[in-house]
Structure 1
Amino acid sequence: MLLSVSIASYICLTVNFEDRAIESYSLTAGDVLIDYLHNIGVEYVFGIPGGAIEPLFDSLARSERQGKTKIIVTRHETGAAFMADGYTRSCGRLGVCCATTGPGATNLITGVAAAYENSIPMLVITAQTALSNFGRGAFQESSDTGINIIGMFKHCTVYNTMVSHVDQLQQKLTAAIMMAMSESRPTHISIPIDVLRTPADKFPHYQTPLSLITPEGNADKKTLDSLYDNIIRAKKIVFIVGVKCYDAVSIIEKIAFLLNAQMVTTPDGMGLISVDHPLYRGVVGFAGHEIAHEVMLEEDVDLIVAAGTTLGEWSSNGWDWQELFSDRLIHVDSMIKNLTYSPMARLHVRGDVKSIFESLLIYLQENYRKAQTSNNKKIFKEYMDRKLTEHLVASEDKIKPQFLMTYLPEMFPVGTGYFADTGSSMAWAIHYLNPRNQRMSERRGIHDYDKYAERIKSGRRKNNADLFQVTIEFSSMGWAIGASIGAAFANTSRPVVCITGDGSMLMNGSEVTVALQHNLPVVFVILNDSALGMVKHGQRMSGAQMIGTTLPSVDFSLWGQSMGIKSHLIKSPQDLQQLCFDHNTLSKGPILLDVRVDCEEVPPIGVRIKALNKAN
């Protein structure tokens, strides 16, 4: 695919701008950059304008008038990176964010670092002052003679460069795009204002890459043979399903049925497997379930296969050596960095996760089939029902977080996506939320194990990857606010629920006005306990001094109404049960729920406290 406009020579374009005077302009380097983004399917660039990056915004304005890539102006640059993150998670296309030089660029770093640690591909574009002004104390200078932005981004990107000459632009831009997609990490290019303004007459015809994702390929035959051998020799297997298994889950489920193996998910893999699945045993790691950890510790479990996960602190139960980090472990992942976290593993299998499990399934179907037992039940579902019965105590003036998380899926249409913010809100969501897609709803009536197995084996299963999203590695407060908005841009017909806390809302809540401005179907559910809840309970649980956790009592419903957002104050279960949101209601723009939760309920954060105590 060639660039959609000829750039072999200096070109003048004439456009009609909102019935005003005819505007003539010359194609610039900025136009070439935006045209590349359009040609690879990028719909939006998230960012904030400023002096040094103005030429890029000029190009975006021209692009938008032509019905191509648009700019989404955020309220803070961190929010721009969070939105690009959520956009990519929801649709798979490259998320792009931009900022001007100086503080604009530094404000991006937190969001970019979060994407880096969670393996989210992202293109980050920053500006520089004019090359001729480097070293002269220019306003907001970010070159190597000022506040060195290239140096700062070095540690949270896989490709990081400044375009010092216009002839470098296309080469470096395509390299940044391809590296971001192939490595599933952010990349960064910084462009001086004078380079962005350079006429495009000198640009060659570069071909836009037809495939931006470099296939990881499969593991070598020797490694795969070793995987097969370990699988068929094992007496009892547990599969740990991480978030990067999103396109391999149906295959893993088929393998689990063949082997009668049990499955658990990491916190960020929650939602990939239905709670009704007879072989599912819940979440292992941060805010996980006792039944999942019990399964891992069963004496006759002689093989644990962890796939699509970093096995970092929150997905490994705080690096639990007895439970996970032993020679029972086989670690499957496409990224060598993730495999370095499990050096004690019996076997590392590196390659495309889906391809590896497809090969394993073919091998098992041709060579090995264990008799399927007939007494499997929905054990995890029964476990959660008992747990909920113990904890869902109604309150007249406050809502139990357990009740809130359990009830949320009943309030919203099937297929709603949920984003949970760092803090107590994430812990409660991981433990009690049960997001549903259409396929899961159809399964609710299936009680016969064999019929359920046939449904799974048929492979007719929708992708659940974006039913539930968290950021468990870098874990920035306020991430879910921006990410849920980015996800809504990716699919405006699908409602998104942002589960956040009052602490995160006070940090990054201004981004809700982006959802308002663009009439997006996002519901912001604020767990309001007038505290930094996870820190408060963590201090209590660890015996630390109680300090720095109290927040003022804020009426977020009034705050939302002041901005024109439909808002509700929720003080009791009855207030919540009176609400019902269908597609028609949600299509009218964002909604805010200020939910006064019981501040004395202790969130399931024991794994985090255990890890902190290990530092003593």
Structure 2
Amino acid sequence: MILTGYLHQQLAAAGVTRAFGVPGYFVMPVWHAFRKDPQIILARHEGGAAFMADGYARATGNLGVVLTTSGPGVTNTATGVASAYQDSVPMLVISGQGSPTTFGRGVFQESFLLDRSASPAALLAPITKTALEIVAPENAAFMIDTAITLALSGRRGPVHLSIPLDQQQLDIPVPPSRSASPPTVGDVPAAPCVLAAAELLRSARRPLILAGWGSMLARAQPEIARLSTQLGAVVVTSTKAVSCLPRDHPMLLGHFGPGQRSDIAQAVSSYQPDVVLVVGASLSRYYANPLAAVLENAATIRIDISAEQVGFRMRADIGIVGDAREAVSALTSAIAAGGTDTAAEPDCSAAELVSAFQKRAERAALRQKPESHGMPSVAGTISRLSRMLPPDAVVIPDAGNHWLDTISLCRAGRTGGVQLNCGVGAMGWAIGASVGMAMAAGQEGAAGRGPLTVCVTGDGSMLMHGAELTVAAEHELNLLVVVFNNRSHGRVRLGQRLDFDREPMGTDIPSIDFAQWMSAMGLRTFRIDHADQVDEVLAAALATRGTVGVEVLCHPDEVPACLRGWIED
């Protein structure tokens, strides 16, 4: 079998339906093999292709695939690959390469460690689980299978596979056992640890569940919801896992980290948890500092896919190594099997605490004014948009002040309804990722088909990666793009003023008509110039089928809700 055919076959067997990329000479044989599922979606920039693959992987739980050539093709993917690496998103980056017989000879886009050229493996190795290169046909099938399996197993993440041009066109031996889909690899939680954790949870009066991004990656949301109901346990999340449970879940208190409510730490402290179950959370300083005292005073159980992570940053009383979904399901079964005769009565005030907490947020969100500094308000617009969205919508905010307001004010109607990039935090990530997520939902057919995907972005991000919206328009995706135009890098501008006590400098962006630009790219567009247009324009945009853009003119000095005590208003 030709190498390119085997690669395509194995990705199809793994359930991959789309690959994202930009063509080039050294990847042409691979490129031409992707004529049907999985088929290639042509991105406008390799960085955008990596963002799309990231979004596709998050939406499907499967592998995101990037196809690119050597030289700038590889270097342009770096930010997207690093984002996937930090957020443990499974991705396979397949790059072409000059033939080994030319290494060091100075061919076009030389990719070898000689004469100031750059090796793709050396570039991507620090931001991938591993970087592999096929150099012999006898080993090609093994290398392809290994790359796919490594990306999808254990703590998932990106893997780089470099394929020299001459190898792409060779016949390779394929053992019969290699023709099937790569095996699913996962850890089974150790029974003694699960039983000990179940007994500890059964005896708890005020259990607390801290759900992290690992619980989302494992698709453990239904299991966490069942366990919370079973125990009467309050649930808090990390920032990345902000939509682990839907907004109407009766035990979801909120999240810790950027965009958190100013009163959540006090609420958890007043609850006084006696047992804390940490599911797939890194406990990074980014969000866990306010929980330090709670974790010190309570018995702790920690679940993580990685053994070293179980004891990282905090020593747990019980550690369970394994897939979060399997582990939480095993815990639920073990608690049920233990009966109720020795279990402590749950604290009945927990549900009342959560209910009051949620209602307070709803009232505060309703009070967000549509106007700030005489212009449409970012917080007010996002608050109104959140209330108007269908419950199955998925919202993806970009880096910027609108990122904070989305986390604070956009409460997801479904699990996974708010998707965040918290690792690298790249501007423009949400644009490509939203295209990938919308594509994964099967929305590339008739316009307006499938659940709505919403990209919340800004003028700075648009100038970096806005061209990727032409991909959404080309495939008639059901995508709403809301662009907040404050003619500034607003998050940096605000940081200069609040954190460094300096006058803003080097952050202004020329006034650009993004509605006109999006229209030129094939989107159906709207603009909000005045606060009294917010409700009407958003309603019209949501009623329009296909790929839709809304430009919102806002003021660069507006402060996000979470930085101005919005919950006390």
- TM-score, normalised to structure 2's length? 0.89
Tell me the equivalent position of 1:409: 386
CA change 1:40–1:502 in 2 (3 A) is: same
Within the alignment, does 1:559 sit opposite 2:505 as a pair? no
Q: Deviations over 1:187-222 (max 9, x none)?
A: 111011111122x2654445344454312211x233
* Partner residue of 1:469 out of 419, 422, 434: 419
Q: Shift in Å at residue 339 of structure 1?
A: 3.1
8 Å CA contact 1:46–1:73 kept in 2: the answer is yes
Give 2:10's aligned amino acid.
Answer: Y
Which whole-Å CA distance do the structure 2 matches of 1:39 and 1:289 have between them? 45
Tell me the equivalent position of 1:550: 508
* Greater Cα offset, 341-350 or 173-182: 341-350
Q: Shift in Å at residue 426 of structure 1?
A: 1.5
Tell me the equivalent position of 1:309: 281
The within-5 A match list for 1:419-568 is 419-437=396-414, 464-465=415-416, 467-491=417-441, 492=443, 493-545=450-502, 546-568=504-526
Within the alignment, does 1:384 sit opposite 2:361 as a pair? yes
8 Å CA contact 1:420–1:470 kept in 2: the answer is yes
Q: Shift in Å at residue 249 of structure 1?
A: 2.8
Q: Shift in Å at residue 177 of structure 1?
A: 0.4
Q: Shift in Å at residue 40 of structure 1?
A: 2.2
8 Å CA contact 1:406–1:434 kept in 2: the answer is no
CA change 1:286–1:213 in 2 (3 A) is: farther
Q: Shift in Å at residue 248 of structure 1?
A: 2.8
Which whole-Å CA distance do the structure 2 matches of 1:478 and 1:565 have between them? 18
Give 2:91's aligned amino acid.
Answer: M
Within the alignment, does 1:358 sit opposite 2:329 as a pair? yes
Tell me the equivalent position of 1:177: 148
CA change 1:393–1:135 in 2 (3 A) is: closer
8 Å CA contact 2:524–2:547 kept in 1: the answer is yes
Which whole-Å CA distance do the structure 2 matches of 1:257 and 1:40 have between them? 35
CA change 1:605–1:531 in 2 (3 A) is: farther
8 Å CA contact 1:258–1:370 kept in 2: the answer is no
8 Å CA contact 2:456–2:481 kept in 1: the answer is yes
Moved segments of 4+, more than 6 Å: none
* Partner residue of 2:255 out of 256, 259, 283: 283
Tell me the equivalent position of 2:446: none
Tell me the equivalent position of 2:200: 230
* Greater Cα offset, 376-385 or 128-137: 376-385
* Partner residue of 2:314 out of 343, 347, 351: 343
Which whole-Å CA distance do the structure 2 matches of 1:153 and 1:273 have between them? 34
Q: Deviations over 1:214-269 (max 9, x none)?
A: 12211x23322432343244442221122332433333333333433211122221
SS in 2 for 1:383: helix
* Partner residue of 2:210 out of 236, 240, 243: 240
Within the alignment, does 1:297 sit opposite 2:251 as a pair? no
Q: Deviations over 1:495-520 (max 9, x none)?
A: 21011121111111111111112111
* Greater Cα offset, 203-212 or 527-536: 203-212
Within the alignment, does 1:399 sit opposite 2:376 as a pair? yes
- TM-score, normalised to structure 1's length? 0.82
Tell me the equivalent position of 1:57: 31
Q: Shift in Å at residue 326 of structure 1?
A: 6.8
Specify every segment of 5 or more residues in structure 2 that has no aligned partner in the other structure, as ranges.
444-449, 565-569
SS in 1 for 2:413: coil
* Count of aligned residue pairs for this structure pair: 544
Which whole-Å CA distance do the structure 1 matches of 2:428 and 2:169 have between them? 35
Give 2:7's aligned amino acid.
Answer: L
Q: Deviations over 1:395-433 (max 9, x none)?
A: 695222222222213444331111111221211111000
Give 1:512's aligned amino acid.
Answer: L
Q: Shift in Å at residue 320 of structure 1?
A: 5.9
RMSD: 2.5
Which whole-Å CA distance do the structure 1 matches of 2:562 and 2:373 have between them? 26
8 Å CA contact 2:274–2:297 kept in 1: the answer is no
Identity in percent: 28
